[in-house]
Amino acid sequence: EIQRRGPLLFRHALNLGLVSRFCTGLATPMLNNHTFLYFAYGSNLLKERLQLKNPSATVHCVARLKDYKLVFGNHKGLASDRWHGGVATIEHSPGDEVWGVVWRMNMSDLDQENVTLGAYSPVELSVKTKGQELNCRTYIMNSCVYAPPSPQYLQVIVMGAEQNGLPKDYQEKLRSIKTNMYEGPLPVMAELEKMAALKNLKKIMEIFARFSPFFA
């Protein structure tokens, strides 16, 4: 079980970016010659996490992938130095479903770091959103050896699910996932908190600037 509350400032900044659960869009993985649709289901549910390496990413919609399930593990059993535990992937499982976020991204972000290293392979899958199906690019781990995630990694996934309004029952399912109880430091968490804090500060400054004549 993970801590249900992250750092207050971090969570407040995430709440400022809350998006609609559903949206409409073009039913194609390539919106034009410069962008594509990417279905995220793990830590990339969280905007701040995805934008650490992919600043072009913008929310397209929330969607559901049928006949797949979310699992955790490591490529060839090699533990993640970044997350100190298993990381997310999906596998075919009739009757199950995975909820995620469809992001619109620049073609320059097409190749992810772990794909280059051979840990994940890109695939094109059809996901369902309100009123339509979308063909999206996503990534599935190669040679997955099951392993529980760290509490911090699972926390990022849960925050992303909250941030984007995934179904409440799916959020509860995520919270119930057992972790490896790792309690050590994770530099990536400090990066995320710093990024969220800076975004929150920027919003505050914009609001202050809007009303600055009243304080002159």
* Residues forming the active site: 113
68: annotated binding-site residue? Answer: no
For 33, phi and psi rounded to 5 degrees? -75, -10
146 assigned binding-site residue: no
CA atoms within 13 A on the CB side of 106: 7
Residue 105 in contact with residue 36, Cβ under 8 Å?
A: yes
Report whether 120 belongs to an annotated binding site: no
Specify the 3-state DSSP secondary structure of 210: helix
What is the C-alpha separation between 142 and 149, in angstroms, rounded?
A: 17
Alpha helix positions (H), the chain: 8-15, 47-53, 113-116, 151-163, 168-175, 187-210
For residue 150, give the nearest of 196, 82, 76 by alpha carbon: 82
42 has binding-site annotation: yes
Q: Does 39 carry a binding-site annotation?
A: yes
Per DSSP, the three-state class of 65 is strand
Binding residues for substrate: 38-43, 153
